């Protein structure tokens, strides 16, 4: 028995080591690429940046910020920026802000870190460190929710939501018990006549949490009901009689128009890429493409579940799900900045056969996202 247990433990350790080794391989490959680039960077600290900011006429003030969640995504933009010329790096608060020229535009590029809180924090930092920034573009990878989009495809959703900003409720037979406005108004969809509406939700897989038809004509398939998010823009909004809230955060119209002009001119996205994990080239069976999508969803949860993926597409017609974009849109709203998000699909969010392939296709998908980013920059009349 001890021998069997020891063998089982050894298998678990080997499996864990294998999973970790794939992640480490990707990190090491990314770091090696970065170290080669960083030889040409000029690094400054926070104090020098403050002094320079006070003498703003002595340096170019960027109007465009470009953020990505983690290093392989940032790398695609940095490589082009480095080839364009001089790059200066501000290092502060555990982050690097790369200043330089991208497609003829003065930009600042930074890596937020994965997750909603990291993304929100870094977005606010870039606005405070660079008050001149008017436009923010978030570029990177995501999980595909729309079954029509293969891996490597790029989506630019028109709007984003924090779909797991929820309240968890018991099955009820009365809408007043659910609470339509406490602590937040929950989100409704298909509200055509104002009487019979459905509440979007995350369907549980537990007993006694099934659908309920309420006596109030409000059809609610209970459990986790998404809420609208407090959206504070004016200084007194927190003390308003009705706190501003919204469920969807639409992207900026100017940037969306630039995207509409850019896509017809976009170079063909390739189905061929390099796998840094296995150190070999690959060709995907389906050729990726780029499109403007209806919606995108974000939460501090990595989605790798086919059932929830199907539900999210059914409810929201979302193209992609990630862990940053909606909160970036939220911060942009409060700062009254213009924002758009570009996401290339590195995986199918649980819709694939077998294990998730995000590590294999991260670099490939990030390059496709960057290709669309560059085309959008070309259409922006900002210098």
What percent of the chain has pLDDT above 70?
A: 78
The CATH classification of domain 40-153+246-379, taken from the options 3.40.50.300, 3.40.50.920, 3.40.50.150, 3.40.50.1580: 3.40.50.1580
| Alpha helix segments (H runs only) across 214-346 | 253-262, 306-316, 325-335
Distance CA 246, CA 249 (A): 7
Per domain, the residue ranges of the chain are 40-153+246-379, 166-227
Closest CA to 286 of 210, 218, 368: 368
Residue 203: predicted pLDDT: 52
Distance CA 146, CA 347 (A): 11
pLDDT digits (tens, 9 = 90+) for 89-128: 999 999 999 999 999 999 999 999 999 999 999 999 999 9
* Summary mean pLDDT of the chain: 82
Q: Report the pLDDT averaged over residues 48-58.
A: 68
Give the pair of three-digit tokens for residue 237. Answer: 């909004």
Residue 276: predicted pLDDT: 80
pLDDT digits (tens, 9 = 90+) for 2-29: 544 444 444 444 444 444 577 788 777 7
- 241-to-82, 181, 237, 238, 336 alpha-carbon distances in Å: 50, 13, 9, 9, 22
| Alpha helix segments (H runs only) across the chain | 2-38, 46-54, 71-84, 116-129, 175-178, 253-262, 306-316, 325-335, 358-379
Give the pair of three-digit tokens for residue 12. Answer: 């678990």
pLDDT digits (tens, 9 = 90+) for 312-334: 888 889 999 999 999 999 999 99
Distance CA 244, CA 338 (A): 19
Q: Report the pLDDT averaged over residues 263-279.
A: 88
Residue 48: predicted pLDDT: 82
Residue 199: predicted pLDDT: 59
Q: Report the pLDDT averaged over residues 159-171.
A: 82
Residue 172: predicted pLDDT: 52
Distance CA 75, CA 73 (A): 5
pLDDT digits (tens, 9 = 90+) for 294-313: 999 999 999 888 888 888 88
Distance CA 263, CA 155 (A): 11
């Amino acid at each position: 028995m001890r021998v069997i247990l020891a063998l089982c433990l050894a298998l678990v350790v080997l499996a864990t080591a294998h999973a970790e080794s794939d992640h480490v391989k990707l990190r090491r490959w990314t770091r090696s690429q970065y170290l080669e680039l960083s030889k040409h960077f000029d690094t400054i600290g926070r104090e020098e940046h403050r002094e320079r900011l006070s003498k703003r006429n002595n340096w170019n003030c960027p109007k465009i910020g470009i953020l990505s969640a983690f290093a392989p995504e940032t790398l695609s933009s940095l490589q082009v920026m480095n080839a364009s010329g001089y790059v200066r790096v501000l290092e502060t608060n555990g982050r690097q802000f790369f200043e330089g020229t991208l497609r003829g535009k003065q930009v600042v590029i930074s890596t937020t870190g994965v997750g909603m809180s990291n993304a929100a924090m870094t977005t606010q930092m870039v606005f405070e460190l660079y008050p001149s920034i008017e436009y923010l573009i978030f570029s990177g990878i995501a999980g595909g929710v729309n079954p029509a989009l293969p891996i490597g495809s790029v989506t630019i959703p028109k709007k984003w939501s924090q779909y797991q900003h929820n309240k968890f409720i018991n099955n009820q037979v009365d809408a007043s018990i659910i609470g339509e406005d406490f602590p937040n108004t929950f989100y409704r969809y298909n509200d055509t006549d104002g009487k019979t509406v459905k509440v979007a939700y995350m369907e549980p897989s537990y007993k006694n949490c099934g659908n309920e038809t309420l006596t109030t004509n409000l059809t609610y398939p209970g459990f986790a009901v998404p809420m609208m998010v407090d959206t504070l823009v004016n200084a007194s909004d927190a003390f308003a009689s009705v706190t501003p809230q919204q469920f969807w955060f639409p992207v900026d119209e100017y940037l969306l128009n630039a995207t509409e002009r850019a896509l017809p001119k976009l170079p063909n996205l390739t189905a061929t890429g390099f796998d840094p994990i296995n150190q070999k080239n690959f060709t995907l069976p389906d050729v990726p493409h780029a499109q403007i999508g209806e919606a995108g969803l974000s939460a501090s949860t990595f989605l790798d579940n086919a059932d929830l993926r199907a539900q999210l597409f059914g409810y929201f017609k979302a193209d992609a799900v990630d862990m940053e974009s909606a909160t970036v849109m939220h911060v942009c709203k409060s700062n009254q900045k213009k924002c758009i998000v570009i996401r290339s699909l590195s995986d199918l969010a649980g819709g694939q056969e077998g294990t998730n392939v995000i590590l294999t296709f991260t670099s490939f998908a990030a390059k496709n996202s960057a290709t669309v980013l560059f085309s959008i920059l070309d259409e922006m009349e900002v210098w």
